[in-house]
Amino acid sequence: MHIQTKIICTIGPVTKSKEMLLKLIEAGMNVARINFSHGTQDEHLITINAIKEVREEIKKPIAIMLDTKGPEIRVGKVKDDILHLEPKQKIRLIKGEIKNDTDVPIHPFEVLDVLKPSQKILFDDGYIIAKVLEKEKDVVIIEIQNSGVLKSSKSINIPNVTLPLPAVTEQDILDLIFGCENDVDIIAASFIRSADHVLEIKKILSDHNQVDIPIIAKIESSEGVDNFDEIVDAADGIMIARGDLGVEVDLSLVPKLQKSMIAKCYEAAKPVVVATQMLESMINNPRPTRAEVSDVANAIYDSASCVMLSGESATGKYPIETVLQMKKIIYQAEQDFDYKGFFYKESRIECEDVSSSVAIAAVKTAYNCSAKAIFAITRTGFTTRLLTRLRPNIPIIALTKNEKKYNQLSFLWGVIPINSSEWTKEREAFAVMSHYAIENDFISFGDFVVLISSFPFDKRGITNLMLVESVGEVLVRGFKGHGNKVKGKIAKIIAVNGDSISKAKDKIIVIAKCSESYLPLFEVAKGVILQNRDVDIISEKLALRQAQKLDVPLVIRAKHANDILLDGEIIHLDAQKGLVFKVAEDELL
């Protein structure tokens, strides 16, 4: 079951072992997210190394995403770590240590300075609502609006206020440096509220020689929504973090904002992640709710690049089942997606750069010639990002020599990365991609593919070359007979004699005609190539009947097969296409 949309899994206590990581990957995980809001750097390093070991062992690209804690507002330590609150109850938000049983310390305390009477304050992801009554020096009196239990360290949200919070905290800076030193692949930056916040993080990465780590800006506040256009320009991608966003803005606006932000992301050719509470009931239950299934499917219909699991895969009872369920939902939704309609709508956007024009031409050409894949040779990932924006309904096979880029590409919609250094020219690169795509059943010999790259070949930063090529070198062209594909050695049978059976055994035989004496050869051969003329209908019917009876691959009317093919030569026979292909040199090893 191949899907185009990528799955991000948060790694936590129940999934941090190598055994569970392997199961997550086998179930469909493409990106492993590590949430730095919890745990220590030493604990995270163990997880990072485990992910690296597993992906190296199975030779599969998995991106490691570091999700920063960000400048959060949280409750400090309350009395006995828990407060039972009732409507109309008055409590004090304070800067220092608690003096009364109902004092609530707040961190960072600077936010108290911007609070005003009648302002709404939300605790614990919005489950407890309060209103500001009055403000004194270093103390704000609030009134609780509904009953609830408030624990130490719970979140605080103050909607519709510009808060005096930094882009990154001191701990975030340490975590970003840690990520640079330990070679993480992606940064998810929490509570981004302006383009300047993104640029500040980029500078930290640059100062530590990691300019190629993409920054995914998390939109979690009304300020982030207001400044979305400048943020999407500055960032390398967007995460719609619906948990905090649904607290900061009216919940009824979240679906509309999700659609709007996704649309702006694909206009900007930036990947977009939909996150939070996608299959949350599966933390405790083996099956999701119907509403959750619809939520995941609608994210696919909206054209999200990735969908993300949080507690479901970090602490849930059914992490593997959750990933499998998500993959199944994605697969069904993608079957209904109007890929061509989406492309022809989006391809009308005027392009002012060569690379975008070539990407559009590549997808259009692929549709027009029924290509089975698009091959992209990439050094920076820019080429593939342009292609994914157009959502082609065929695989995008991306070849790179850079191992880090190889893992990062697994984050992009529809991209199947290959990491190989065994090429220096276009033809060699084409051979590497063709071999991989055939081995993994993405394409077959004789299929058309579209390749895009830069020209000259080592030119960086521009995609200006497109070519259409069929996969494999065709030796002989015939017509469809019976059966599918087979690979084997050639045995030319000029006439039937006492040695013919042993010569034909487990070989692909070439015969110029078919009579009753040739029929026993079909019983031992791997395949049959019949070099009959168009008028030799008797041979053709006899061969077809025997091939169908024994289910042996057969190609008919294969002109010049005896002249071109050599005894003992290894070939690919594609009976469905009526073609004989030369085997690549690396397949002979």
Give catalytic residue positions: 33, 74, 218, 276
Of 57, 67, 69, residue with least CA distance to 26: 57
Do residues 409 and 366 touch, judged by C-beta distance below 8 A?
Answer: no
The rounded distance, in Å, linking the Cα atoms of 529 and 551 is 14
Q: Give the pairing type, strands 148-151 and 186-189.
A: unpaired
Does 456 sit behind a cis peptide bond, omega within 30 degrees of 0 on the bond before it?
A: yes
CA distances from 553 to 31, 260, 495, 527 (A): 41, 52, 21, 5
- Here the contacts of 492-495 (C-beta below 8 Å, separation 24 or greater) are 492/562, 492/565, 492/567, 493/518, 493/521, 494/562
Strand, coil or helix: 20: helix
Do residues 452 and 466 touch, judged by C-beta distance below 8 A?
Answer: yes
The rounded distance, in Å, linking the Cα atoms of 523 and 544 is 13
Please give the structure tokens belonging to residue 357.
């024009």
The rounded distance, in Å, linking the Cα atoms of 311 and 279 is 9
Of 97, 171, 199, 182, residue with least CA distance to 139: 97
The rounded distance, in Å, linking the Cα atoms of 573 and 488 is 8
Please give the structure tokens belonging to residue 74.
């949280």
